[in-house]
Structure 1
Amino acid sequence: MIGSRIAALGHYQPATVLTNEDLAALVDTSDEWIRTRVGIRTRHKAADDEPVDELAAHAAAKALAAAGLTARDIDLVLVATSTAVDRSPNTAARVAARLAMGSPAVMDLNVVCAGFTHALASADHAVRAGSARRALVIGADKMTAITDWTDRTTCVLTGDGAGAAVVEAVEEGEEPGIAPVLWGSVPEMGHAVRIEGTPSRFAQEGQTVYRWATTQLPPIARRVCERGGVAPEDLAAVVLHQANLRIIEPVAQRIGAVNAVVARDVVDSGNTSAASIPMAFAKLVERGEIKKGDPVLLFGFGGNLSYAGQIVRCP
């Protein structure tokens, strides 16, 4: 069994930006109220005719270019999303068609906000098992399409975007760049984050999620570090699901990653669900805030009260 690594990252966000002032014209809110409670300043909104697979394909193309690969070098496409409209063809198949790939295996995973880290682990497993050599792992969501624009507690949170990673097998004798995943869920509390109804709408029990995230997740994240063989104080970066700055900052502090750069992309992008971790990670790399080989904690959490985390090495 040969391990895997992340070879390159890419991200994409739609051109339209919604500010807090824009939202204040829709519901009873204000820039101060939003910043104080969730830390968000802006978020991106896809056009009505800009589907999830288009967002995903843009991010994937950037990741492939950064890796120096073509679409036909990929033999597995995994897309983490909970906002795809159609059931078939799935989003992964549509991304493969947009990029003119050969004949990759194509699968979607719906683990909502923890989707990317679940998909990354699945790609790592496929490489280790020998069923894939190079995989494209994408987190993409169009959260604004399922937003209730009359609910002042949730409409201020959501944004659209996509992030992608090229995952490939390491050379023989090379240390893996993706450590074993630690994942799980609290299914009896799954009602705390919902995308339900016709049409589907996002809703959550904010205080329940906040208490769970800030109290239960830090010890789990420290176990992720143990599994990856890295002490929290040796982490170069912490990339949590970009849910809410009031969750990200205390969780990162309680993990004990005192020397790490903490991703705060939620401030400019809002909550983009499965896209949030790969987008935030790609931006840290793009800005040069972390360097090749640095240990990074990726930790997704959210819908189903699912969680998944792993230590990865910066590409």
Structure 2
Amino acid sequence: MTKLRQARTVAGTRILGLGSSQPERVVTNDDLAKIMDTDDQWIRDRVGIAERRFGGPADTVVSMAVDAGSKAIAAAGLSPSDVDTVIVASCTSTTPIPNAAAQVADLIGVKGAGGFDLNAACAGFCYGLAAGSDMVRAGSSRRVLVIGSEKLTDIVDPVDRSTAIIFADAAGAAVVGPSDEPGIGPVAWGTAGDLVDSITMPNGRHIYQEGQSVFRWATTKIAPIALQALELAGLEPSDVDVLVPHQANLRIVEAIAKRLRKHGAREDMVVADDIVTSGNTSSASIPMAMDHMRAAGRVHSGDVALLIGFGAGLSYAGQVVICP
């Protein structure tokens, strides 16, 4: 009987480095008030955003992914040749063929890499992190670069007050590699396909969302998924040092944190609030928030972070990670 050789598995994985990228153009609430019926207080009260970044013609899903990915590799103390797989999570890539991952890998200098795109909207980074972690644990990859990159201004009606005040452009990245001790927990993920019409692109050009429906779903259904991710990792809410939900809306972020504290999370748990200055950047929001918090000294190496992404699909995914 012919026997096939299997790749050697590893005990665990961890995030080795983080990176992020944003366009230079800062757009304030007062800027938006000049082109639509809104004002600074109205936006802050509803979504908690003060400013966001909008990309120009030179800022693309690929270019921002290259910048964020290169920074993550450098932060990990690695060179591009140390990475063998690139995953790009995006729901705003304008060219399905060729995929973004192949372009990003080549531009970064990761030659001959395995590369693929995935689309789980705002849960995309957590989906990519789970896939990359499993690939390393199974031995099919040594180190995986996972990037969430979005140019949401390409699919937002610039004068639609329900979406233009929320969405922005950015990329966030993480390098995943082997570890003697597990540093990335099992993923808790799924979809609520019965609510697929809550966030759509009905005309094929602009994003539409039923804001109240999404708000009710996120504030009631996401905290239980976060608790499930903790259970899968064998941890309690009190073990969490940092909560990094998808930066969809500050009110949603605060509601998730409040529910977790009711289940035993500590009052001193640090909660990501990158939404205030970055807006909703879909799959980029979680890794970028982590990178910004690390740079600001709000999180430290070894901290236990609970990540939870959610968005169109409706897709969701969460896992516990040890901060690099």
Q: Aligned-pair distance for 1:228?
A: 1.3
Matched, 1:213 2:230: no
SS in structure 2 at match of 1:14: coil
Per-residue CA distance 1:81-125 (angstroms, 9 max, x = gap): 010111122111111121122211000010000000000000011
Which residue matches 2:116?
Answer: 107
Matched, 1:308 2:317: yes
In the TM superposition, structure 1's runs of 4+ consecutive aligned residues that sit over 4 Å from their partners are none
Structure 1 gap ranges (5+): none
Which of residues 158, 163, 182 is equivalent to 2:167?
158
Distance 2:34 2:317 in 1: 37
| RMSD, aligned α-carbons | 1.0
TM-score by length of 1: 0.97
Which residue matches 1:236?
Answer: 241
Distance 1:49 1:138 in 2: 19
Which of residues 180, 201, 207 is equivalent to 1:202?
207
Which residue matches 1:73?
Answer: 82
SS in structure 2 at match of 1:221: helix
Matched, 1:33 2:42: yes
Which of residues 29, 35, 46 is equivalent to 2:55?
46
SS in structure 1 at match of 2:222: helix
Q: Aligned-pair distance for 1:195?
A: 3.2
Distance 1:67 1:128 in 2: 18
Which residue matches 2:299?
Answer: 290
Structure 2 gap ranges (5+): 1-8
Distance 2:247 2:308 in 1: 10
Amino acid corresponding to residue 269 of structure 1 in structure 2: S
Q: Aligned-pair distance for 1:150?
A: 2.1
Amino acid corresponding to residue 192 of structure 2 in structure 1: V
Which residue matches 1:227?
Answer: 232
Which residue matches 1:98?
Answer: 107
Distance 1:4 1:147 in 2: 37
Which of residues 176, 191, 194 is equivalent to 2:197?
191
TM-score by length of 2: 0.94
Identity %: 48
SS in structure 1 at match of 2:122: helix
Distance 1:63 1:85 in 2: 24
Q: Is the 8 A contact 1:76 1:132 kept in 2?
A: yes
Which of residues 122, 126, 144 is equivalent to 2:131?
122
Which of residues 238, 255, 273 is equivalent to 2:282?
273
